Amino acid sequence: MYTPLKSYQVIISLLKQNNIRHLVLSAGTRNIPFVQSVENDSFFVCYSVVDERSAAYMALGMSLRLNEPVVISCTSSTATCNYFPAIAEAYHQGGQLIVLTSDRNPALLNQREDQMIDQVGMYGNFVKKCVNLPIINTDEDLWFCERLVNEAIISTYQHGKGPVQINIPMLSYYSRCNEPDLLNARKIDLYSYETPAKEWKSCAEILNSKKRIMIICGQNNYTSPELNNLLKLFGEKYKNVLLAEYMSNIEVEDAINPFLPFDTHTLSSKAFADFLPEIVISLGTNVMSGIKAQLRQKSGRFEHWGVEESGNVVDMYKSLTKVFECSQEYFLRYFIENASEEEKDNEYLCKVKNFVEDIEIPELPYSNNTVIRKLAAQIPDHSILHLSINNSIRIVNYCGLPNRTIKVYSNIGTHGIDGCLSSFIGQAVTSDRLSFLIIGDLSFFYDMGAMRIRHIPKTARILMVNNYGGGEFHYSTTLAIDPTMDLHTSAAHTTEAKGWVESVGFKYFAVHNDAEFDEAMRVFLDNTSDSPIFIEAFSDMEIDATNTHKMERFNLRETTNEGIKRVVKEKIVSKVGYKTIDNIINKLK
């Protein structure tokens, strides 16, 4: 029988799955849920040592002899302090202690609650990792808890062995251990260059057995020619779907940009089920498109294998089962070499490709959409393009670049609007070719001090969309209904850039419609200009947002049932009201 406390259930489940069975338990009440669960489970070998100082040293001795992690568990407060000497010793000897410190309700800290001290991070630099588990009330808490416990267990051996702390707060420890079944926590495995060949091999067997493989390339600021080549070879072997936003800088021309087709405004979650992969392989870092939200909504229905050179546990699709701590090239090369001889069918790939081929960009009236689309379509090969947060990123990825030789940068590591211009200048000074920045007005005026940098090259080309505020907030449909939004959220203003940019030597064009924009573009793309060039395209936040939504709605894909419901709602309910519909239904009855 097990405790109903989910956080302890997660720990117990993951200890078992990781084959960690030796536990040194010290007497107390806060750890009763753990102690009573494990002492009744024949998988575990339990030792009782009341003195926590001695318990931890004994566990260290066992860990060093067995060359495996050993768990210590105690009650809250000074009991945990007595673990410290052995933890310090373990740190310096590479002893794998998993230190479970039971804790009370965090809200009661420093409220004269009995037997409670601040235990989070108490072992400082003497543990390789400290995680503080959430009290589990929701699925989100459970997911977080599973991830933290996995991270702690992985840290006992990753980048050298050592001790880790798992702090377990709880509201009450009184509940009886009367749960017959243990939950099955999702285990995350780490694979590195050191992992035995047979374990890598078993991954190859899994991959070879799958029919729906999706690679998602996140941000990559440098892609080696080998990486691009390996992605093509991998595709030939596994017939996988390859999704790559422009910030991934992947130079595989038939890669699919997921931005518009998989956006949640375009593709309903139910309709996405048709395209659900069996395995997602993630390369690179940040992902901006709606594919992230789509996959999260289906978490647990597919496996995610993350290729993370850092070895970090990054569970962005809430379905991570394997972390590959190696280069992207190493990963691809290994699985290409270990692909089965059998030719894979390309049904899944064709299905996704057919869907994506139907995506169309409709003709729209003048707005940020039209100017960004036109510029994006004309950017010369091998140019540099920096995209500011967020509309620049969204619209370029929706509408498309001519090809994937263009190097795309964006500060999506942190999403700050504060340094787009400065970063762009840094990128532009490294190249002799034309370099483009597409930026919103708030982002531009925020970082305008950068316009004084003496090194701005004459190859710099800036398109600033001045819609007099943060258009992003008008785009967000939930915020747009706020009548005071323009006061402080989108921070509407009347500032224009002309005088300032001219004073630092830019050629300047103001445009208010598509014809003026086309005219300005003739000069903008001239690479013999003796000064940098700036286009300020004036637009309106609401018109911009409405048109981006039109682009999404134009490509709407939903299930038949969803379609019927929506049409009824839009065409009938909105006209006659729910009451009339109810009356009709009642009469029909």
Coil vs helix vs strand at 40 = coil
Round to whole Å and give the CA distance between 47 and 399.
64
Q: Check: CB of residue 524 under 8 Å from CB of residue 371.
A: no
DSSP letters for 219-241: --S---HHHHHHHHHHHHHH--E
Round to whole Å and give the CA distance between 52 and 80.
7
Q: What is the residue type of 6?
A: K
Nearer to ligand TPP, 173 or 517 (CB): 517
User: Could you give the count of Cα atoms lying within 13 Å of 294 in the half-sphere of its Cβ?
Assistant: 27
Coil vs helix vs strand at 507 = strand
Coil vs helix vs strand at 290 = coil
In angstroms, what is the minimal distance from the CB of 116 to ligand TPP? Answer: 38
Nearer to ligand TPP, 319 or 392 (CB): 392
Nearer to ligand TPP, 198 or 488 (CB): 488
Nearer to ligand TPP, 27 or 448 (CB): 448
- Pairing of β 435-440 and β 384-387: parallel
Nearer to ligand TPP, 40 or 495 (CB): 495
Q: Check: CB of residue 246 under 8 Å from CB of residue 221.
A: no
Helices (H) and strands (E) in the chain, counts: 24, 18
In angstroms, what is the minimal distance from the CB of 442 to ligand TPP? Answer: 3
Q: Check: CB of residue 177 under 8 Å from CB of residue 36.
A: yes
Round to whole Å and give the CA distance between 176 and 221.
53
Nearer to ligand TPP, 250 or 465 (CB): 465
Would you state the structure tokens that stand for residue 356, as one six-digit string?
A: 């994506």
Nearer to ligand TPP, 148 or 389 (CB): 389
Strand partners, 507: 533
Coil vs helix vs strand at 438 = strand
In angstroms, what is the minimal distance from the CB of 492 to ligand TPP? Answer: 10
In angstroms, what is the minimal distance from the CB of 264 to ligand TPP? Answer: 18
In angstroms, what is the minimal distance from the CB of 129 to ligand TPP? Answer: 30
Helices (H), 39-172: 52-66, 78-81, 84-93, 139-155
Nearer to ligand TPP, 24 or 438 (CB): 438
Residue entry with tokens 């804790």 = 103
In angstroms, what is the minimal distance from the CB of 470 to ligand TPP? Answer: 3
In angstroms, what is the minimal distance from the CB of 452 to ligand TPP? Answer: 20
54, 73, 61: which is closest to 15 by C-alpha? Answer: 73
Q: Shortest Cβ contact with ligand TPP: which residue?
A: 440
In angstroms, what is the minimal distance from the CB of 488 to ligand TPP? Answer: 10
Intra-chain end-to-end CA distance of the chain, in Å: 52
Instruction: Tell me how far CA of residue 135 lies from CA of 14, 119, 141, 287, 497, in angstroms.
Output: 17, 15, 7, 29, 51
139-155 and 6-17 helices, crossing angle to 10°: 40
In angstroms, what is the minimal distance from the CB of 418 to ligand TPP? Answer: 4
Let me know how long the chain is.
589
In angstroms, what is the minimal distance from the CB of 421 to ligand TPP? Answer: 10
456, 427, 462: which is closest to 441 by C-alpha? Answer: 462
- Pairing of β 164-169 and β 279-283: unpaired
Nearer to ligand TPP, 407 or 474 (CB): 474
Nearer to ligand TPP, 458 or 549 (CB): 549
Nearer to ligand TPP, 148 or 537 (CB): 537
In angstroms, what is the minimal distance from the CB of 295 to ligand TPP? Answer: 23
For the chain, the 3-state helix, strand and coil shares in percent, each to the nearest 5, are: 40, 15, 40
Nearer to ligand TPP, 383 or 390 (CB): 390
In angstroms, what is the minimal distance from the CB of 536 to ligand TPP? Answer: 12
Round to whole Å and give the CA distance between 136 and 130.
18
Binding site for ligand TPP (CB under 6 A): 388-391, 415-418, 440-443, 465, 467, 470-472
